[in-house]
Amino acid sequence: MFKGSIVAIVTPFKNGKVDEEKLRELIDFQIKKGTSGIVPCGTTGESATLNFDEHESVIRISIDHVKKRVPVIAGTGSNSTDEAIMLTKQAASAGADASLQVSPYYNRPTQKGLYEHFKAIAQSVNIPIILYNIAGRTGVNIEPETIAKLAQDCKNIVAVKEASGSLDQMSRIKSLCPKNFKLLSGDDGLTLPVLSIGGTGIISVVANIVPKDVADLVSAFEKGDITEARELHYKLLPLIKAVFLETNPIPVKTAMGLLGMCEPDLRLPMCSMSEANLEKLKKALKDYGLLK
């Protein structure tokens, strides 16, 4: 279930509200282009500025529209353990195939606190749990030893989305965790290196605009065509750099607006790109052949 190119899908807005029909269109586009899974309400989906009703609605719409064509991995994390449990139970009841659990932000818990947080969530549901380690946005790193203990003690904690940027840390996770524990890249630019150390795929931002190329990169590696995988890696790198010129998902949503994929609407405190970075993004899209 947890392999290939899995998209951290944007939440499209229109006139300040979730554009439900556009979300359905984007899901169909992703599946048609070879995406292996859908993650609604992740960082790229602006989960931090969705209210509870919207959060539940986006996950439910995603599950209902996907219709089991690919797994739906619902973003249901929170810095409040009780809140994360509530959101995860809702997603499980709606039929989510798994849950993505970001480490608690702002609180800065200890490693013991992280362990107890994730263990409590895992024990509250039967669906698989993917840990999401992104210290750059949460302020705390889930250490490999903590991940390994969770993988050993909680049978439904089955994978980690690693966005630490450290291949050394990811290698330690692979060496410490059970063999069936999955490592997913959380950085588009590190997809190929992560695959090379035993990762099984990517939860991707750039796949929102070029899903086929991201899926093809992972597929080429799995088939042993390292030359093709490397060529796609280097083809994607300038575009990846462009979609992280500013805080995610500002650039990728702006790009989708430029390409007519959805409205580029963001919710404060996310705001429009600076003119200088917007020009860099446009150039990257043109160089890639996406924008005339």
CA torsion 228→230→234→236, rounded to 10°? 60
Sign of CA dihedral 291, 251, 60, 97: positive
State the DSSP code for 229.
H
Residues 214 and 64: their CA atoms lie apart, in Å, by 25
Candidates 22, 115, 132, 149; catalytic one: 132
Residues 286 and 289: their CA atoms lie apart, in Å, by 5
Candidates 22, 161, 174, 253; catalytic one: 161
Residues 180 and 16: their CA atoms lie apart, in Å, by 42
- In the residue annotation, 288 being an active-site residue is answered as no
Residues 160, 170: contact at Cβ < 8 Å? Answer: no
Among left, alpha and beta (phi > 0; psi -120 to 50; other), residue 183 is beta
Rounded to the nearest angstrom, the gap between the alpha carbon of residue 24 and the centroid of all alpha carbons in its chain is 18
Residue 149, SS3 per DSSP:
helix
Residue 209, SS3 per DSSP:
coil
Residues 95, 126: contact at Cβ < 8 Å? Answer: no
Q: How far is CA 3 from CA 123, 151, 155, 191, in A?
A: 24, 18, 19, 12
- Give Rg (Cα) of the chain: 18
- In the residue annotation, 182 being an active-site residue is answered as no
The catalytic residue positions are 132, 161
